[in-house]
Structure 1
Amino acid sequence: MKRLFPQLPTTAIATALVGTLLLSSCASYTGQTNAPDDPNRTRTGALIGAGIGVVAGLLSGGDATERRQRALVGAGVGGLAGGAIGAYQDRQEAELRRKMAGTGVDVVRQGDNITLNMPGNITFGFDKSDIQPQFYPVLDNVASTLQQYNQTVIEVAGHTDNVGTDAYNQQLSQRRADAVAGYLSSRGILRDRMITVGAGKTRPIADNSTDAGRAANRRVEITLVPVRS
Protein backbone atom coordinates (compact mmCIF):
# COMPACT_ATOMS: atom_id res chain seq x y z
CA MET A 1 0.00 0.00 0.00
CA LYS A 2 1.37 3.37 -0.96
CA ARG A 3 2.54 5.40 1.98
CA LEU A 4 0.61 8.60 2.61
CA PHE A 5 2.11 11.76 4.04
CA PRO A 6 0.88 13.21 7.32
CA GLN A 7 -1.20 16.36 6.97
CA LEU A 8 1.05 19.41 7.37
CA PRO A 9 -0.21 22.59 9.06
CA THR A 10 -0.59 25.51 6.72
CA THR A 11 0.65 28.14 9.14
CA ALA A 12 3.37 28.34 11.75
CA ILE A 13 3.41 30.80 14.66
CA ALA A 14 6.85 32.12 15.52
CA THR A 15 7.62 33.47 18.98
CA ALA A 16 10.94 34.41 20.53
CA LEU A 17 13.32 31.46 20.71
CA VAL A 18 10.80 29.01 19.36
CA GLY A 19 12.38 25.68 18.54
CA THR A 20 9.27 23.74 17.73
CA LEU A 21 8.72 22.39 14.25
CA LEU A 22 7.90 24.98 11.61
CA LEU A 23 5.97 23.27 8.84
CA SER A 24 4.59 25.90 6.55
CA SER A 25 4.23 25.77 2.78
CA CYS A 26 6.07 23.60 0.28
CA ALA A 27 7.37 26.62 -1.64
CA SER A 28 10.87 27.90 -0.97
CA TYR A 29 11.10 31.44 0.39
CA THR A 30 13.33 33.62 -1.75
CA GLY A 31 13.73 36.70 0.40
CA GLN A 32 12.35 39.95 -0.96
CA THR A 33 11.00 38.55 -4.23
CA ASN A 34 10.17 35.26 -5.96
CA ALA A 35 12.51 35.96 -8.83
CA PRO A 36 11.82 33.87 -11.95
CA ASP A 37 15.57 33.33 -12.40
CA ASP A 38 16.01 31.99 -8.85
CA PRO A 39 18.53 29.11 -9.36
CA ASN A 40 16.63 26.83 -6.99
CA ARG A 41 13.15 27.64 -8.28
CA THR A 42 12.96 25.01 -11.04
CA ARG A 43 14.45 22.22 -8.98
CA THR A 44 12.21 22.93 -6.01
CA GLY A 45 9.16 22.86 -8.22
CA ALA A 46 10.26 19.54 -9.71
CA LEU A 47 10.72 18.02 -6.28
CA ILE A 48 7.30 19.15 -5.11
CA GLY A 49 5.79 17.82 -8.32
CA ALA A 50 7.35 14.45 -7.54
CA GLY A 51 5.63 14.38 -4.17
CA ILE A 52 8.47 15.61 -1.99
CA GLY A 53 7.32 17.85 0.85
CA VAL A 54 8.94 20.52 2.94
CA VAL A 55 11.93 19.96 5.17
CA ALA A 56 11.22 18.88 8.71
CA GLY A 57 12.44 22.05 10.38
CA LEU A 58 13.94 22.18 13.85
CA LEU A 59 14.07 18.85 15.67
CA SER A 60 16.15 19.68 18.73
CA GLY A 61 13.37 21.60 20.45
CA GLY A 62 13.03 25.06 21.91
CA ASP A 63 14.91 24.39 25.14
CA ALA A 64 18.06 23.17 23.38
CA THR A 65 18.01 26.07 20.94
CA GLU A 66 17.43 28.64 23.68
CA ARG A 67 20.27 27.25 25.79
CA ARG A 68 22.63 27.45 22.83
CA GLN A 69 21.55 31.00 22.06
CA ARG A 70 22.15 32.11 25.66
CA ALA A 71 25.59 30.49 25.61
CA LEU A 72 26.54 32.32 22.42
CA VAL A 73 25.36 35.66 23.77
CA GLY A 74 27.36 34.96 26.94
CA ALA A 75 30.39 34.20 24.80
CA GLY A 76 30.16 37.59 23.13
CA VAL A 77 28.16 36.77 19.99
CA GLY A 78 25.78 39.69 19.63
CA GLY A 79 22.10 38.93 19.38
CA LEU A 80 19.67 40.28 16.79
CA ALA A 81 16.40 42.08 17.46
CA GLY A 82 13.32 43.30 15.63
CA GLY A 83 13.57 43.93 11.92
CA ALA A 84 17.30 43.30 11.97
CA ILE A 85 16.59 39.55 12.23
CA GLY A 86 14.71 39.31 8.94
CA ALA A 87 17.18 41.53 7.10
CA TYR A 88 20.13 39.49 8.40
CA GLN A 89 18.55 36.23 7.30
CA ASP A 90 17.59 37.72 3.94
CA ARG A 91 21.25 38.47 3.24
CA GLN A 92 22.40 35.07 4.45
CA GLU A 93 19.73 33.29 2.41
CA ALA A 94 20.74 35.15 -0.75
CA GLU A 95 24.39 34.21 -0.21
CA LEU A 96 23.53 30.56 0.40
CA ARG A 97 21.32 30.39 -2.68
CA ARG A 98 24.16 31.81 -4.77
CA LYS A 99 26.70 29.32 -3.43
CA MET A 100 24.37 26.28 -3.50
CA ALA A 101 23.16 26.85 -7.07
CA GLY A 102 23.72 23.70 -9.11
CA THR A 103 24.94 21.61 -6.16
CA GLY A 104 21.73 19.65 -5.50
CA VAL A 105 21.26 21.36 -2.12
CA ASP A 106 17.90 23.06 -1.58
CA VAL A 107 17.68 26.29 0.42
CA VAL A 108 14.32 26.65 2.18
CA ARG A 109 13.18 29.65 4.25
CA GLN A 110 10.65 29.11 7.06
CA GLY A 111 9.97 32.35 8.87
CA ASP A 112 13.31 33.56 10.24
CA ASN A 113 14.94 30.13 9.92
CA ILE A 114 16.89 28.88 6.90
CA THR A 115 17.27 25.16 6.15
CA LEU A 116 19.70 23.51 3.75
CA ASN A 117 18.39 20.15 2.57
CA MET A 118 21.28 17.89 1.56
CA PRO A 119 20.09 14.63 -0.07
CA GLY A 120 22.03 11.52 0.92
CA ASN A 121 22.87 10.62 -2.67
CA ILE A 122 25.19 13.64 -2.86
CA THR A 123 26.51 13.61 0.71
CA PHE A 124 26.84 9.92 1.64
CA GLY A 125 26.98 6.51 0.05
CA PHE A 126 24.13 4.08 0.72
CA ASP A 127 24.18 2.95 4.37
CA LYS A 128 27.29 5.08 4.98
CA SER A 129 28.07 7.96 7.31
CA ASP A 130 31.36 9.03 5.72
CA ILE A 131 30.98 12.24 3.71
CA GLN A 132 31.68 11.66 0.02
CA PRO A 133 34.83 13.57 -1.00
CA GLN A 134 33.09 15.27 -3.93
CA PHE A 135 30.81 17.00 -1.43
CA TYR A 136 33.63 18.69 0.49
CA PRO A 137 33.64 21.82 -1.74
CA VAL A 138 29.91 22.30 -1.09
CA LEU A 139 30.40 22.07 2.66
CA ASP A 140 33.38 24.42 2.36
CA ASN A 141 31.04 27.00 0.80
CA VAL A 142 28.50 26.43 3.56
CA ALA A 143 31.22 26.90 6.18
CA SER A 144 32.45 30.15 4.63
CA THR A 145 28.91 31.55 4.73
CA LEU A 146 28.40 30.42 8.33
CA GLN A 147 31.63 32.17 9.27
CA GLN A 148 30.45 35.37 7.61
CA TYR A 149 27.02 35.13 9.29
CA ASN A 150 27.97 33.97 12.76
CA GLN A 151 24.87 35.17 14.63
CA THR A 152 23.03 31.88 14.21
CA VAL A 153 22.59 28.59 16.03
CA ILE A 154 23.18 25.67 13.65
CA GLU A 155 21.10 22.50 13.95
CA VAL A 156 22.45 19.57 11.93
CA ALA A 157 19.82 16.83 11.61
CA GLY A 158 20.32 13.43 10.00
CA HIS A 159 17.49 11.44 8.38
CA THR A 160 17.10 8.01 6.74
CA ASP A 161 14.61 6.11 4.62
CA ASN A 162 12.50 3.31 6.11
CA VAL A 163 14.81 0.42 5.20
CA GLY A 164 16.13 -1.25 8.36
CA THR A 165 15.18 -1.18 12.01
CA ASP A 166 14.24 1.93 13.94
CA ALA A 167 17.28 1.62 16.19
CA TYR A 168 19.74 1.18 13.33
CA ASN A 169 18.33 4.09 11.35
CA GLN A 170 18.41 6.38 14.36
CA GLN A 171 22.09 5.58 14.94
CA LEU A 172 22.92 6.00 11.25
CA SER A 173 21.16 9.36 11.07
CA GLN A 174 23.01 10.57 14.17
CA ARG A 175 26.37 9.50 12.71
CA ARG A 176 25.62 11.40 9.53
CA ALA A 177 24.69 14.54 11.46
CA ASP A 178 27.85 14.22 13.56
CA ALA A 179 29.97 13.77 10.41
CA VAL A 180 28.66 16.98 8.84
CA ALA A 181 29.01 18.93 12.09
CA GLY A 182 32.53 17.59 12.53
CA TYR A 183 33.52 18.69 9.04
CA LEU A 184 32.09 22.17 9.57
CA SER A 185 33.98 22.38 12.85
CA SER A 186 37.20 21.46 11.03
CA ARG A 187 36.54 24.42 8.74
CA GLY A 188 36.43 26.88 11.61
CA ILE A 189 32.77 26.83 12.66
CA LEU A 190 32.46 27.15 16.43
CA ARG A 191 31.29 23.82 17.80
CA ASP A 192 29.23 25.59 20.46
CA ARG A 193 27.02 26.98 17.68
CA MET A 194 25.98 23.49 16.58
CA ILE A 195 23.36 21.03 17.77
CA THR A 196 23.28 17.56 16.20
CA VAL A 197 20.24 15.30 16.18
CA GLY A 198 19.38 12.01 14.51
CA ALA A 199 15.77 11.62 13.41
CA GLY A 200 16.11 8.16 11.87
CA LYS A 201 13.18 7.41 9.58
CA THR A 202 10.60 9.39 11.56
CA ARG A 203 10.55 12.53 9.35
CA PRO A 204 10.11 11.46 5.71
CA ILE A 205 9.66 14.19 3.11
CA ALA A 206 8.87 11.76 0.29
CA ASP A 207 7.18 8.44 -0.39
CA ASN A 208 9.30 5.55 0.93
CA SER A 209 7.58 3.12 -1.46
CA THR A 210 9.68 4.42 -4.39
CA ASP A 211 13.42 4.48 -5.04
CA ALA A 212 13.32 8.23 -5.67
CA GLY A 213 11.39 8.83 -2.46
CA ARG A 214 13.79 6.78 -0.36
CA ALA A 215 16.75 8.63 -1.88
CA ALA A 216 15.15 11.96 -0.96
CA ASN A 217 14.55 10.82 2.61
CA ARG A 218 18.21 9.86 3.10
CA ARG A 219 19.40 13.37 3.84
CA VAL A 220 20.98 15.85 6.22
CA GLU A 221 19.32 19.17 7.01
CA ILE A 222 21.19 22.18 8.36
CA THR A 223 18.86 24.72 9.96
CA LEU A 224 20.12 28.19 10.85
CA VAL A 225 18.31 29.94 13.71
CA PRO A 226 19.12 33.62 14.43
CA VAL A 227 20.56 34.47 17.84
CA ARG A 228 18.08 36.86 19.40
CA SER A 229 19.03 39.57 21.84
Structure 2
Amino acid sequence: MKTSKIIMASVASIALLGTSACVTDPNTGEKKVSRTAIGAALGGTLGYLLGGAIGGNTARIIGAGIGGSAGAVIGKQFDDQIKELDESVSGAGVDVEEIGDQDAILVRLPDGVTFASGSASINPGFYTTLDAVADSLIKYPNSLVDVYGFTDTTGSDALNQRLSEQRAQAVADYLAARGVARSRLATQGFGERYEYLRVKTGDNVAEPLNRRVEIKIIPVSQADVQAARGN
Protein backbone atom coordinates (compact mmCIF):
# COMPACT_ATOMS: atom_id res chain seq x y z
CA MET A 1 0.00 0.00 0.00
CA LYS A 2 1.51 3.32 -1.07
CA THR A 3 2.23 5.98 1.53
CA SER A 4 0.16 8.53 -0.41
CA LYS A 5 -2.99 6.63 0.48
CA ILE A 6 -5.03 7.20 3.60
CA ILE A 7 -4.92 3.97 5.54
CA MET A 8 -8.37 3.21 6.93
CA ALA A 9 -8.82 -0.49 6.32
CA SER A 10 -7.78 -2.04 9.62
CA VAL A 11 -10.37 -3.47 11.96
CA ALA A 12 -8.54 -1.81 14.84
CA SER A 13 -9.13 1.61 13.31
CA ILE A 14 -12.82 0.87 12.90
CA ALA A 15 -13.07 -0.21 16.52
CA LEU A 16 -11.46 3.04 17.63
CA LEU A 17 -13.91 5.07 15.58
CA GLY A 18 -16.80 3.32 17.31
CA THR A 19 -20.40 3.05 16.30
CA SER A 20 -20.72 6.83 15.93
CA ALA A 21 -18.72 6.55 12.70
CA CYS A 22 -21.22 4.15 11.16
CA VAL A 23 -24.47 4.90 9.40
CA THR A 24 -26.98 2.47 7.93
CA ASP A 25 -27.69 2.43 4.21
CA PRO A 26 -31.51 2.76 3.97
CA ASN A 27 -31.53 0.81 0.70
CA THR A 28 -29.52 -2.24 1.73
CA GLY A 29 -29.57 -2.27 5.52
CA GLU A 30 -25.78 -2.44 5.50
CA LYS A 31 -23.67 -0.38 7.87
CA LYS A 32 -21.03 1.84 6.36
CA VAL A 33 -18.30 3.90 7.93
CA SER A 34 -19.18 7.56 7.63
CA ARG A 35 -16.60 9.47 5.63
CA THR A 36 -17.33 12.60 7.66
CA ALA A 37 -16.75 10.76 10.92
CA ILE A 38 -13.51 9.23 9.65
CA GLY A 39 -12.34 12.60 8.41
CA ALA A 40 -12.88 14.11 11.84
CA ALA A 41 -11.18 11.19 13.56
CA LEU A 42 -8.14 11.44 11.30
CA GLY A 43 -7.76 15.16 11.71
CA GLY A 44 -9.55 16.44 8.64
CA THR A 45 -7.75 14.23 6.12
CA LEU A 46 -10.89 14.19 3.97
CA GLY A 47 -10.72 17.92 3.40
CA TYR A 48 -11.67 17.45 -0.26
CA LEU A 49 -15.10 16.42 0.98
CA LEU A 50 -15.53 18.89 3.82
CA GLY A 51 -14.09 21.86 1.92
CA GLY A 52 -15.70 24.17 -0.59
CA ALA A 53 -16.38 23.80 -4.28
CA ILE A 54 -13.62 22.84 -6.70
CA GLY A 55 -11.76 26.00 -7.68
CA GLY A 56 -13.83 28.15 -5.32
CA ASN A 57 -17.44 29.15 -5.83
CA THR A 58 -17.22 32.82 -6.83
CA ALA A 59 -16.45 32.45 -10.54
CA ARG A 60 -18.57 29.33 -10.83
CA ILE A 61 -21.66 30.97 -9.32
CA ILE A 62 -21.33 33.93 -11.68
CA GLY A 63 -20.55 31.73 -14.68
CA ALA A 64 -23.50 29.46 -14.02
CA GLY A 65 -25.91 32.37 -13.57
CA ILE A 66 -27.26 30.84 -10.36
CA GLY A 67 -29.86 32.97 -8.61
CA GLY A 68 -29.56 31.29 -5.24
CA SER A 69 -32.23 30.29 -2.75
CA ALA A 70 -33.59 32.46 0.03
CA GLY A 71 -32.30 31.60 3.48
CA ALA A 72 -35.71 30.50 4.70
CA VAL A 73 -36.16 28.24 1.68
CA ILE A 74 -32.77 26.61 1.27
CA GLY A 75 -33.11 24.32 4.32
CA LYS A 76 -36.42 22.87 3.16
CA GLN A 77 -35.15 22.46 -0.38
CA PHE A 78 -32.11 20.62 0.95
CA ASP A 79 -34.26 18.24 2.99
CA ASP A 80 -36.63 17.66 0.08
CA GLN A 81 -33.83 17.03 -2.39
CA ILE A 82 -31.92 14.56 -0.23
CA LYS A 83 -35.16 12.66 0.56
CA GLU A 84 -36.21 12.53 -3.08
CA LEU A 85 -32.74 11.49 -4.24
CA ASP A 86 -32.61 8.70 -1.69
CA GLU A 87 -35.98 7.41 -2.85
CA SER A 88 -35.22 7.72 -6.58
CA VAL A 89 -31.99 5.66 -6.38
CA SER A 90 -33.36 3.08 -3.94
CA GLY A 91 -32.07 -0.39 -4.69
CA ALA A 92 -29.22 0.80 -6.91
CA GLY A 93 -26.55 0.57 -4.19
CA VAL A 94 -26.12 4.35 -4.16
CA ASP A 95 -25.31 6.13 -0.90
CA VAL A 96 -26.96 9.52 -0.35
CA GLU A 97 -25.59 11.43 2.64
CA GLU A 98 -25.66 14.88 4.20
CA ILE A 99 -22.30 16.58 4.53
CA GLY A 100 -21.90 18.88 7.51
CA ASP A 101 -24.96 20.82 8.60
CA GLN A 102 -26.75 21.03 5.24
CA ASP A 103 -23.44 22.09 3.64
CA ALA A 104 -23.77 19.61 0.77
CA ILE A 105 -25.39 16.41 -0.41
CA LEU A 106 -23.08 13.55 -1.35
CA VAL A 107 -24.24 10.96 -3.87
CA ARG A 108 -21.81 8.03 -3.97
CA LEU A 109 -22.09 5.82 -7.04
CA PRO A 110 -21.28 2.20 -6.16
CA ASP A 111 -17.95 0.45 -6.53
CA GLY A 112 -17.74 -2.12 -9.31
CA VAL A 113 -21.16 -1.25 -10.78
CA THR A 114 -20.75 2.16 -12.37
CA PHE A 115 -17.47 1.20 -14.05
CA ALA A 116 -15.64 -2.00 -14.91
CA SER A 117 -12.05 -2.40 -13.71
CA GLY A 118 -9.71 -0.23 -15.75
CA SER A 119 -12.58 1.45 -17.60
CA ALA A 120 -14.06 4.95 -17.68
CA SER A 121 -17.12 3.84 -19.66
CA ILE A 122 -20.32 4.04 -17.64
CA ASN A 123 -22.16 0.75 -17.40
CA PRO A 124 -25.35 1.20 -19.50
CA GLY A 125 -27.33 -0.53 -16.76
CA PHE A 126 -26.58 2.46 -14.55
CA TYR A 127 -28.01 5.10 -16.90
CA THR A 128 -31.41 5.06 -15.21
CA THR A 129 -29.83 5.90 -11.86
CA LEU A 130 -27.83 8.77 -13.34
CA ASP A 131 -31.01 9.98 -15.06
CA ALA A 132 -32.62 10.27 -11.62
CA VAL A 133 -29.66 12.27 -10.34
CA ALA A 134 -29.81 14.56 -13.39
CA ASP A 135 -33.54 15.09 -12.90
CA SER A 136 -32.92 16.13 -9.30
CA LEU A 137 -30.19 18.59 -10.29
CA ILE A 138 -32.50 20.14 -12.89
CA LYS A 139 -35.40 20.36 -10.44
CA TYR A 140 -33.16 22.07 -7.87
CA PRO A 141 -30.95 24.36 -9.99
CA ASN A 142 -29.49 26.54 -7.24
CA SER A 143 -26.41 24.45 -6.55
CA LEU A 144 -22.90 23.76 -7.77
CA VAL A 145 -22.02 20.16 -8.60
CA ASP A 146 -18.58 18.66 -8.01
CA VAL A 147 -17.86 15.22 -9.46
CA TYR A 148 -15.00 13.21 -7.93
CA GLY A 149 -13.43 10.10 -9.46
CA PHE A 150 -11.57 7.28 -7.67
CA THR A 151 -9.90 3.98 -8.56
CA ASP A 152 -8.73 0.83 -6.83
CA THR A 153 -5.01 0.05 -6.42
CA THR A 154 -4.59 -1.91 -9.64
CA GLY A 155 -2.03 -0.25 -11.91
CA SER A 156 0.41 2.62 -11.49
CA ASP A 157 -0.24 5.88 -9.67
CA ALA A 158 -0.15 7.81 -12.94
CA LEU A 159 -2.57 5.42 -14.65
CA ASN A 160 -4.98 5.50 -11.73
CA GLN A 161 -4.89 9.29 -11.51
CA ARG A 162 -5.75 9.63 -15.18
CA LEU A 163 -8.46 6.96 -14.94
CA SER A 164 -10.07 8.68 -11.95
CA GLU A 165 -10.18 11.95 -13.86
CA GLN A 166 -11.75 10.21 -16.85
CA ARG A 167 -14.41 8.58 -14.67
CA ALA A 168 -15.37 11.89 -13.08
CA GLN A 169 -15.52 13.51 -16.52
CA ALA A 170 -17.65 10.68 -17.92
CA VAL A 171 -20.28 11.18 -15.22
CA ALA A 172 -20.22 14.97 -15.60
CA ASP A 173 -20.62 14.61 -19.38
CA TYR A 174 -23.57 12.29 -18.89
CA LEU A 175 -25.29 14.71 -16.51
CA ALA A 176 -24.70 17.57 -18.94
CA ALA A 177 -26.12 15.49 -21.80
CA ARG A 178 -29.25 14.96 -19.70
CA GLY A 179 -29.74 18.72 -19.34
CA VAL A 180 -27.69 19.78 -16.29
CA ALA A 181 -26.01 23.10 -17.06
CA ARG A 182 -22.35 22.46 -17.87
CA SER A 183 -21.37 25.64 -16.03
CA ARG A 184 -22.55 24.12 -12.75
CA LEU A 185 -20.28 21.09 -13.11
CA ALA A 186 -16.62 20.66 -12.14
CA THR A 187 -14.56 17.48 -11.92
CA GLN A 188 -11.54 16.18 -10.06
CA GLY A 189 -9.77 12.82 -9.89
CA PHE A 190 -8.12 11.44 -6.78
CA GLY A 191 -6.64 8.23 -8.16
CA GLU A 192 -6.45 5.51 -5.54
CA ARG A 193 -6.52 7.86 -2.56
CA TYR A 194 -9.35 8.12 -0.06
CA GLU A 195 -10.65 4.63 0.54
CA TYR A 196 -14.31 4.25 1.40
CA LEU A 197 -15.33 1.45 3.72
CA ARG A 198 -18.65 -0.32 4.11
CA VAL A 199 -19.19 -2.56 7.13
CA LYS A 200 -21.87 -5.21 6.79
CA THR A 201 -24.35 -5.49 9.64
CA GLY A 202 -23.03 -7.76 12.38
CA ASP A 203 -19.58 -7.91 10.75
CA ASN A 204 -16.38 -6.24 11.92
CA VAL A 205 -14.71 -6.53 8.54
CA ALA A 206 -14.72 -3.42 6.36
CA GLU A 207 -14.94 -3.81 2.61
CA PRO A 208 -13.17 -1.09 0.61
CA LEU A 209 -15.29 0.39 -2.17
CA ASN A 210 -12.84 2.34 -4.27
CA ARG A 211 -13.83 2.07 -7.95
CA ARG A 212 -16.43 4.78 -7.60
CA VAL A 213 -17.56 8.31 -8.41
CA GLU A 214 -18.97 10.79 -5.91
CA ILE A 215 -21.28 13.68 -6.78
CA LYS A 216 -21.21 16.54 -4.29
CA ILE A 217 -24.18 18.90 -4.56
CA ILE A 218 -23.44 22.26 -2.91
CA PRO A 219 -26.49 24.47 -2.35
CA VAL A 220 -26.11 28.15 -3.22
CA SER A 221 -27.97 30.80 -1.24
CA GLN A 222 -28.83 34.31 -2.31
CA ALA A 223 -26.21 35.51 0.16
CA ASP A 224 -23.61 33.38 -1.67
CA VAL A 225 -24.64 34.99 -4.96
CA GLN A 226 -24.39 38.49 -3.52
CA ALA A 227 -20.95 37.71 -2.08
CA ALA A 228 -19.78 36.32 -5.44
CA ARG A 229 -20.92 39.53 -7.17
CA GLY A 230 -19.28 41.67 -4.52
CA ASN A 231 -22.56 43.18 -3.35
Task: Indicate conservation of the 8 Å contact 1:78/1:151, yes or no.
Answer: yes
Q: Does 1:132 align with 2:135?
A: no
Amino acid at match of 1:68: R
Task: Indicate conservation of the 8 Å contact 1:155/1:223, yes or no.
Answer: yes
Query: Could you tell me how far apart the structure 1 residues matched to 2:88 and 2:105 are?
Result: 14
Task: Indicate conservation of the 8 Å contact 1:96/1:142, yes or no.
Answer: yes
Q: Which residue number in structure 2 is paired with residue 102 of structure 1?
A: 91
1:64 is paired with a residue whose SS is: coil
- Summarize the Cα distance change of 1:168–1:184 in structure 2 as closer, same or farther, 3 Å threshold: same
Q: Does 1:27 align with 2:23?
A: yes
- Among residues 49, 56, 65, which one is paired with 1:57 in the alignment? 49
Q: Which residue number in structure 1 is paired with residue 216 of structure 2?
A: 223
- Summarize the Cα distance change of 1:224–1:64 in structure 2 as closer, same or farther, 3 Å threshold: same
- Summarize the Cα distance change of 1:62–1:156 in structure 2 as closer, same or farther, 3 Å threshold: closer
Query: Could you tell me how far apart the structure 2 residues matched to 1:41 and 1:120 are?
Result: 14
1:144 is paired with a residue whose SS is: helix
Q: Which residue number in structure 2 is paired with residue 152 of structure 1?
A: 143
Amino acid at match of 1:155: D
Correspondence list, 1:171-210, <5 A: 171-206=162-197
Q: Does 1:118 align with 2:101?
A: no
Query: Could you tell me how far apart the structure 2 residues matched to 1:176 and 1:4 are?
Result: 23
- Report the number of matched residues: 193
Q: Under a length normalisation based on structure 1, what TM-score does the superposition of the two structures give?
A: 0.73
Runs of 4+ displaced beyond 4 Å = 52-56, 58-63
Query: Could you tell me how far apart the structure 2 residues matched to 1:62 and 1:140 are?
Result: 23
Q: Which residue number in structure 2 is paired with residue 80 of structure 1?
A: 69
CA deviation profile, 1:45-91 (whole Å, cap 9, x unmatched): 2x339xx968862677564333212323xx2x321243422211101
Q: Give the Å deviation of 1:188.
A: 0.7
- Summarize the Cα distance change of 1:26–1:151 in structure 2 as closer, same or farther, 3 Å threshold: farther
Amino acid at match of 1:98: E
Amino acid at match of 2:220: V
Amino acid at match of 2:146: E
2:67 is paired with a residue whose SS is: coil
Q: Does 1:48 align with 2:48?
A: no
Task: Indicate conservation of the 8 Å contact 1:58/1:155, yes or no.
Answer: no
Unmatched tracts of structure 2, length 5 or more: 40-45, 199-205, 223-231
Q: Under a length normalisation based on structure 2, what TM-score does the superposition of the two structures give?
A: 0.72
Task: Indicate conservation of the 8 Å contact 1:40/1:107, yes or no.
Answer: no
Q: Give the Å deviation of 1:146.
A: 1.0
Unmatched tracts of structure 1, length 5 or more: 11-23, 29-37
Task: Indicate conservation of the 8 Å contact 1:124/1:132, yes or no.
Answer: yes
Task: Indicate conservation of the 8 Å contact 1:143/1:189, yes or no.
Answer: yes
- Summarize the Cα distance change of 1:150–1:61 in structure 2 as closer, same or farther, 3 Å threshold: closer
Task: Indicate conservation of the 8 Å contact 1:26/1:53, yes or no.
Answer: no
Query: Could you tell me how far apart the structure 1 residues matched to 2:51 and 2:170 are?
Result: 17
- Summarize the Cα distance change of 1:181–1:151 in structure 2 as closer, same or farther, 3 Å threshold: same
By relative contact order (CA 8 Å, sep 6+), the higher-ranking structure is 2
- Among residues 91, 104, 115, which one is paired with 2:80 in the alignment? 91
CA deviation profile, 1:165-188 (whole Å, cap 9, x unmatched): 211111000000000011111111
Task: Indicate conservation of the 8 Å contact 1:106/1:118, yes or no.
Answer: yes
**Identity in percent:** 37
Task: Indicate conservation of the 8 Å contact 1:59/1:157, yes or no.
Answer: no
* Farther-moved stretch of structure 1 (111-120 vs 59-68): 59-68
Query: Could you tell me how far apart the structure 2 residues matched to 1:160 and 1:88 are?
Result: 32
